A and B are shown apart, each in its own frame.
Chain A
Amino acid sequence: MNFQLSVSLVIAGLFAASVLAWLLTKLNKALGAWVTVVASAAALTMMALLHGEIGSTVNLFFLQFTLTEYGWFFSVIMLAVFACVSFFNIYWMPKLIHPAAYNMLYLLALTGTLGAFSARDFITLFIFWELIVWASMFIIPFGKSRKASVTYYAFSAFGSLSMLYGILFLYHKFGSFEISSVLQQAAGDPTAAIVAFVTIGIAGLIKLGVFPFHIWLPQAHGNAPEPFSPILSGGLVKAGGFAAFLIVAVMPSYKAFSTNIEFLGRQLTMPLPNYALAILGAVSIVVGTLMAISQNDFKKLIAYSSVANAGYIIIGLAMAGGLSTGGALMHIFAHAIASAAAFLAAAAVVHRTGTTKMNELGGLIHRMPLTYLVYLIAIISMAGIPPMAGFISKWMLFQSMMGRGMAFIAAAAFFGSIGSFLYVFRPLSAVFLGQLSTKHRYVKEAPPLMMFPMILLSLASVVFGVFPNWVLRIISQVQTSVGLEGLTLEGTKIIASNGAIDPTLIVIIFGLGFLIAMIIFLRFPKSRKVPLMDQYTASEFIWTPELLHYATDFYAPFERLYQKAPRTETLYRTIVHKVSELGAFASYAFYSFKPGTVLLWVAIVVVAMLGGSVL
């Protein structure tokens, strides 16, 4: 038998593994969880090997797959996140109500993403897209809330239907389902282009959790089982980035829409639909940042930060230039590994303490120092501070915004960037630093199998922050493969038209600075170690650590400034209210047992029939 490695083989294998995981979990819970580890790691290895196969088409029954540069890029990020997170499944088996179903759905979600990213035609894309939605919809209620799943499904269904409409519209117009050729043709037809842009765009924006579709994200991420939150934030959400990439880059939006629009004597820097996308991104950044700052739940905070980061991704993609798309793709990568690591650190904390409420925690650095370091590295990357991967992507995005003079969108992005210092610091301060609560005095460090993926993700953040060009070369290939300008990379330097940085050099100089600081520190007399409760308290006598821990309402003065601002949730609640009112009216009018109403309808029907026959 000719055994050749191909995408369809990987997908079929993952599908088989998901069934196997279900069966084995029934026998032994740990064994089933190990299947998810092995299967996702094996799939990652195979996809990495498949880089040479880009461009080839393979079939699996009626499903067709073509591996593209961008599909490969997204798949590898996704698989890396899945593979790292799967280690946590082992520890969560006793905590879940249906461990067998969880393991199966976990692998099915992975199959779904892989299939969607390597789909050749829209039907395959849609089938696998739905697989992602359904698999994750059933996993989310394993956590804290069933309602979260309903919200998630309501949004996803809207996105899927919108995409389906777009797919059928394009089929009607061009008579083909093939993604690349249809999107290329659509670029030449303004109506088709705008329909594809809006319908597929909505599906992408919903998955990414961009304003105004962001409210499902904190609910789903915050309530999903702890090992699945990093999958949602680091992995599945990025599928939305994939959909957005399809409509702005694979369908060349600059060709499809006119840029020849003058505004106050200055030509617009990008087409109007792209502008709309970028504005939504800017609003998401501001809304996500403000909401993240005011959260007390560790996981909800990271979830809202994903909303803000989705904003950067969408702005970068909307600009559709060489540097900006590169920045967006790099941000997808950097944020995937950083937010997965942050969520995993949160999961480790939950595993040991059983709570995600930040004001109940504190001082865990003295008990879980490695988890602290993982979280620290993750937030440095999320805040866009060197020497982490997140800095590179933010620099690229800011540099391209400055180059185009997009003052208002950039102001929102700057706000989000500085605002991220606030929200990422809050868990650091409230959960890990400060006073150790008495009830957590005997908490242990996370078990080694949990540490392993967390350390791996942290190393990735650091390594690709110091040597980003390893990833950027691949990203550059992705860009040229869809006809965008590539990136200018020179050794360790990244060169933009209006500035350059050398990340490796920054790290060398920072390292030198740190070395000098360390020498100064070690050169002078050793400090006397004092217990944590030995504090300056302005002559108050306080003996309970909880009273000396500043964690509740951390940013209260800042929050007060926007407490009364209108919330998107109110808008949706109003819509829900109106729909249910309409339903109530319909049921009152049509499904009534009141004799008067029944008589009225009988009379109307009779009159209509008579009237019809007379005319």
Chain B
Amino acid sequence: MNMNQVFLGTLTGLIILVFAFFWQTTLSGVTRKIVARFHKRYGPKFYQEFRDIFKLLTKTGISHGWVYNFGVMMALGGIMGTAMFMPVMQFAAFPGLDNIFIYVYLFAVGMLGMAMSAVGSGNPLAGIGVMRALTQMVGYEVPFMVVVLAMVYGHGTASVSELAAVQQTAGLATWNIVKMPIGTLVGFICLLGMLGKKPFETFIAPAEIASGPMVEYGGKQLGMLMLLHEFSIFIEVSLFVNLFLGGAVTVVGYAIKYVGVFVLASLISQALGRFKIDQVIKYFYRWPIALALVQALIVIFLGWGV
């Protein structure tokens, strides 16, 4: 890979990053509005999320030492790096090199940074929140990766842009939601876990552990974590769209798929209560993992969905 490609790829990545910020932050605001209507409330303006972020960034907050600050930077850096790799429609910063493991593990850099910073604040509630977040991760990540294994085995590539391209060859019939319906169901449940939507909201649990990892934050650190939150939603939803819904070719298609998935997840969240953390683990290690393995066996032994 020569310097030119690296430069062009990085530039594309930065454009995707800027797009992700405006797109997801707007969408979060819109979703707040939609959810409010379901509650029979009026709801905030659709640009409320922007207001919140910029207000927090310009406020003077507190700091609990260098790791508290460094962790936030590492977290946002890791998540933004991951977002730059994400293919959006046909635009991908580094097609072929956007391996699925980058999204799992580079994303983990961000999560580790945030966990480090949160526990570094010295508040035990943050420690409990991080413990729950990590435990939940063991729950949703394993079934998700088993489905990904089936997909990579079936399509013979682990690059997300290539996996999306494979599904665009013959319209709806080649989408993984049609070819691997069980896997898609598992993927969606895991997506709820990743997004921290109810019933998998245990690690935030505002009424119980005072927002968990976020308990001590305020000012620009909290603003940066809100930014991080928008980027991580972008990564998680985009991953689902690219892996199961065949990516997107047109802007309209992309918008419909992305908004559909995110709004659906947010609405499901409104209808459910919160699991306890051991219930989360028990849940994921009962149905989703079993279905994921069934899907993997179907792909491997029967060759369906290839």
Contact = CB atoms under 8 A, between A and B. Distances in A.
Interface of A: 264-266, 363, 365-366, 369, 372, 376, 380, 383-386, 391, 394-395, 398-399, 401-405, 407-408, 410-411, 414-415, 418-419, 421-422, 425, 428-429, 433-435, 491-493, 496-502, 505-506, 508-518, 520-521, 524-530, 532-538, 548-551, 554-555, 557-558, 560-561
Contact of A526 (B60, B93, B99): B60
Contacts of A405: 149-150, 153, 296, 299-300
22 contacts: A363-B122, A365-B65, A380-B112, A383-B112, A385-B109, A401-B149, A408-B293, A418-B142, A422-B135, A425-B112, A428-B119, A434-B124, A499-B152, A499-B159, A505-B97, A509-B10, A529-B64, A530-B62, A530-B64, A533-B122, A535-B123, A557-B281
B276 interface: yes
B278 A558 contact: yes
B173 interface: no
Interface string B265-295: 0000000000011100110000001000100
A536 B116 contact: no
Interface in B1-41: 1, 6, 9-10, 13-14
B128 A550 contact: yes
A414 B145 contact: yes
Given A408-B293, A525-B59, A532 B65 contact: yes
Given A492-B1, A500-B96, A415 B138 contact: yes
Contact of A501 (B10, B59, B79, B99): B99
Contacts of B169: none
B106 interface: yes
Interface of B: 1, 6, 9-10, 13-14, 57-67, 69, 72-82, 84-85, 93-94, 96-97, 99-102, 105-106, 108-109, 111-112, 115-116, 119-125, 127-128, 130-132, 134-135, 137-138, 141-142, 145-146, 148-150, 152-153, 156-159, 210, 215-216, 219-221, 223-224, 227, 276-278, 281-282, 289, 293, 296-297, 299-301
A536 B125 contact: yes
Contacts, number: 275
Given A493-B1, A512-B10, 13 more contacts: A372-B67, A395-B105, A414-B142, A434-B122, A505-B9, A505-B97, A506-B81, A511-B81, A517-B76, A520-B220, A524-B223, A530-B63, A536-B216
Nearest to B228: A517
Given A530-B62, A535-B123, A561 B221 contact: no
A554 B84 contact: no
Contacts of A512: 10, 13-14, 80-81, 84
Given A407-B296, A411-B142, A506 B123 contact: no
Given A414-B141, A422-B138, A386 B72 contact: no
A498 B150 contact: no
A418 B109 contact: no
B158 A560 contact: no
Contacts of A528: 60-63
A402 B158 contact: yes
A487 to B, nearest CB: 16
B202 to A, nearest CB: 9
Q: Closest 10 interchain pairs by CB? A: A514-B77, A499-B158, A550-B127, A513-B81, A513-B80, A527-B63, A517-B76, A550-B124, A407-B296, A513-B77
Contacts of B69: 521, 527
Nearest to B140: A418
A422 B282 contact: no
A268 to B, nearest CB: 12
A536 B124 CA distance: 10
A498 B60 contact: no
A266 B300 contact: yes
B138 A510 contact: no
B63 A525 contact: no
Most chain B Cβ neighbours within 10 Å, of A408, A411, A491, A499: A499
A151 B63 CA distance: 49
A383 B138 CA distance: 13
B47 to A, nearest CB: 20
A413 to B, nearest CB: 9
Nearest to B77: A514
Kindly name the residue among A386, A534, A554, A557 whose own CB sees the greatest number of chain B CB atoms within 10 A: A557
Contacts of B96: 500
A557 B224 contact: no
Q: Which of B65, B74, B125, B282 has the most CB of A within 10 A?
A: B65
